Structure 1
Amino acid sequence: MDHRPGLDPSVAEVRRAVRAALARIDGSVVVALSGGPDSLALAAATAFEAPRAGIRAQAVVIDHGLQDGSDAVAAAAAQKARALGLEARVVAVEVGSADGPEADARTARYAGLSRAAAEAGARAVLLGHTLDDQAESVLLGLARGAGATSLAGMAPERQDATGPLWLRPLLAVRRATTVAACAAEGLDPWTDPHNTDPAYTRVRVRERVLPVLEAELGPGVAEALARTAEQLREDAAAFQDMIDETIEDIVEHAEAGISVSVAALAANPAALRNRIVRYVVESEFGVSLTRTQTLEVARLATDWRGQGPIDLPGCVARRVGGRIEVVARAAS
């Protein structure tokens, strides 16, 4: 714990969070830096803590090219990182147009950070998401009705099959704390105009929905939402362990797809059965089923009345004897 006289409590809190994350890392780390208060406070804490942990740190600024002058904004953020004592570079990315501006920018950003980490030989990337970001994610998931997996929000730690370890050291830190930490250290964060643009759903949640909830329900709503996410991640991890144990016995490869035992699927509780259906389809075909689609596939096992094949994104589910086959649409 930091006990140095005069150390601002907000700076101490951010440093403690970063120190705990760096304890999970060997070698080197990349800090994702936008120049905003969250990522700038993260970069400052990393610049302080990484040398003490024997870790080499590099700040990476992603230039999405979505705003006029974005290159100058990125260059300024990189310069602030260098002033803190970090190595820094700017990575320009091309944002696609497949899933909407927010999702497409996020996809491009993570791809750019992953490449930068590989080029730097870094095993981990630190992201600046705060407790407030987590609360917003839970509310957005609730609005989509996407179930417990979505409500679980962002994981503090995630390892891709390939690529770096993604760490979010500040998920228990409020956004106000990062703003205060920047002020205490004399740092001048950049304000992204997208973060105040009500055209974005997340901005409306941040600027309108959460303040109303806090006003009407009392303080602590954001913390409660973050606690809910943590509990649901624990539940999701337990369910995944059950799925991993069950799936080897009930799933087989089928021509152009995969098949699941009807009897075994029907014997499982609904919560586990539905998760198995979603997991099997996503693993084999890379698509996420809606609640309605999941229940229709499960009914092939639990309420079989001779119904025909069920059309799903990119594939078809059908009952063949004692098994449910999920196969590519062309093969069906």
Structure 2
Amino acid sequence: MIDQINQPEGESLVPLEARRHGVVHEIGRGFRMACEDQRPGPVVLAVSGGRDSLALLIAAVVLRDHDDWSMLPRVVHVHHHLRPEADEEAAHVLAISEQFQIPAEIRHVEVADGTSATARKMRYEALEQAALDCHASFIATGHHAEDQFETILAAIGRGAGPTGLAGMARKRVLADGILLIRPLLRISRNDAESLCQAAGISWCDDPGNVDPATQRGRLRRDVLPVFESLWPGAAVRAAASADLQAAAATALEGLIASMFGDAAERCWDRSELSRLPVSIVAGGLRRSVLCVTSLTPDRLSHDALFAAAEAVGDHGMHQRSFQLGSGVNLIVNAREIRIEQGDT
């Protein structure tokens, strides 16, 4: 079900202080990086009512009023009907959208099992449908630097590879012809709040974001403050490092693909891999193991993985088996390396 308002575009109602705010420039740069300087045209803004997504809305209004940018933003608020305050948040988003003369709508979804995973899936499905309905090629979310930092820390804890350590991508394909973009990844929550204050608007706080019973809530309460106290601005610098890591991961993926072939391969000629650096061999084997078996990064024995990678380049000709977990073994003999999976 959809609740909708349509407002004509007019002269910007964003206060001068907000229009000149440095965060607007940074968000504009984030849009350009994600869109690769393509004129975006219609853009769906996923606005929950929090300070981050409202900062996205404010910046989009300023960019809309720049003739050289050709952005046509449309606010979409997905109402999950999971919290008593959700009705007020939806109404607040519509009111702010009306204040800034930006078309807005509410997409209602029913989350049958009430879980965050299902809510997330249905939210993106609703946003995708909204983009299709208004012929938008981009859906922009308000993920910010702290969100990125939390993602990276969780990836480290799970034992993620190079791509996972790059955190959330600035853009990814959500559906055919639709890109999900994240222009705020180098913007801190405090900076987003500052922009909202400069624009004279209030925001809603979701108590679930700081619930210590959740992974993100625990990281926000107990971990990120420690980083910020030791290295003020750590989240923003981590988000910038993530962009560099993403480029490095892409280069590494290309190298591994050229040496190991398709990720679904299970067997390789040992002589072709024996002169590669151990870390490259480990990366290539890890990629295929995660692709063709049920192992997950947090259950994979990295000690065994690197021992197998070292064995590929040593002088041993006898057959050796390295147990990675969950019944998955790497076999290294004189001629080949192969993945075997038996009963767990």
Where on the TM-score scale, by shorter chain, does this alignment land: which range? Answer: 0.7 to 0.9
Aligned to 2:27: 17
> 1:239: Cα distance to partner?
0.6
Mean alpha-carbon deviation: is it higher for 285-294 or for 71-80? 285-294
Aligned to 2:268: 261
Q: How does 1:82-101 map to 2 (within 5 A)?
A: 82-95=98-111, 101=115
Q: Residues of 2 paired with 1:273 and 1:161: CA distance?
A: 33
Q: Residues of 2 paired with 1:40 and 1:66: CA distance?
A: 21
1:29 and 2:43 equivalent?
yes
Identify which of 59, 71, 80 aligns with 1:55.
71
Aligned pairs, number: 316
Identify which of 92, 112, 122 aligns with 1:108.
122
> 1:235: Cα distance to partner?
1.7
1:163-203 deviation digits (Å, cap 9, x = unpaired)? 52122111122211111111111112111121232222212
Q: How does 1:238-253 map to 2 (within 5 A)?
A: 238-248=251-261, 251=262
1:277 and 2:277 equivalent?
no
The amino acid of 1:213's aligned partner reads: F
1:103-134 deviation digits (Å, cap 9, x = unpaired)? 44333333332232223221111111122222
Q: Residues of 2 paired with 1:124 and 1:140: CA distance?
A: 27
Q: Residues of 1 paired with 2:196 and 2:276: CA distance?
A: 52
- Do the aligned partners of residues 305 and 232 (structure 1) sit closer, same or farther apart at CA in structure 2, a change above 3 Å counting? same
Q: Any idea what SS the aligned residue of 1:159 has?
A: strand
Q: Residues of 2 paired with 1:267 and 1:95: CA distance?
A: 53
Q: Residues of 1 paired with 2:124 and 2:303: CA distance?
A: 32
Q: Residues of 2 paired with 1:50 and 1:6: CA distance?
A: 15
- Do the aligned partners of residues 274 and 24 (structure 1) sit closer, same or farther apart at CA in structure 2, a change above 3 Å counting? farther
- Do the aligned partners of residues 240 and 115 (structure 1) sit closer, same or farther apart at CA in structure 2, a change above 3 Å counting? farther
Q: How does 1:189-200 map to 2 (within 5 A)?
A: 189-200=203-214
Aligned to 1:234: 247
Identify which of 70, 75, 88 aligns with 2:86.
70
Q: Any idea what SS the aligned residue of 1:45 has?
A: helix
Structure 1 residues not aligned, in runs of 5+: none
Please tell me whether the aligned partners of residues 18 and 170 of structure 1 are also in contact (alpha carbons under 8 angstroms): no
Q: Any idea what SS the aligned residue of 1:58 has?
A: strand
Q: Residues of 1 paired with 2:323 and 2:227: CA distance?
A: 44
1:276-315 deviation digits (Å, cap 9, x = unpaired)? 23433555578744463566577397387354997759xx
Q: Residues of 2 paired with 1:121 and 1:285: CA distance?
A: 39
> 1:236: Cα distance to partner?
0.7
Please tell me whether the aligned partners of residues 33 and 77 of structure 1 are also in contact (alpha carbons under 8 angstroms): yes
Q: Residues of 1 paired with 2:148 and 2:86: CA distance?
A: 26
Q: Residues of 2 paired with 1:234 and 1:258: CA distance?
A: 25
User: What's the TM-score once normalised by structure 2's chain length?
Assistant: 0.75
- Do the aligned partners of residues 308 and 245 (structure 1) sit closer, same or farther apart at CA in structure 2, a change above 3 Å counting? closer
1:241-284 deviation digits (Å, cap 9, x = unpaired)? 21333344xx59xxxx7433141345433332233234335555
User: What's the TM-score once normalised by structure 1's chain length?
Assistant: 0.78
1:117 and 2:124 equivalent?
no
Q: Residues of 1 paired with 2:192 and 2:122: CA distance?
A: 25
Structure 2 residues not aligned, in runs of 5+: 1-13
Please tell me whether the aligned partners of residues 128 and 174 of structure 2 are also in contact (alpha carbons under 8 angstroms): no
Identify which of 119, 126, 129 aligns with 2:143.
129
Q: Residues of 1 paired with 2:242 and 2:94: CA distance?
A: 33
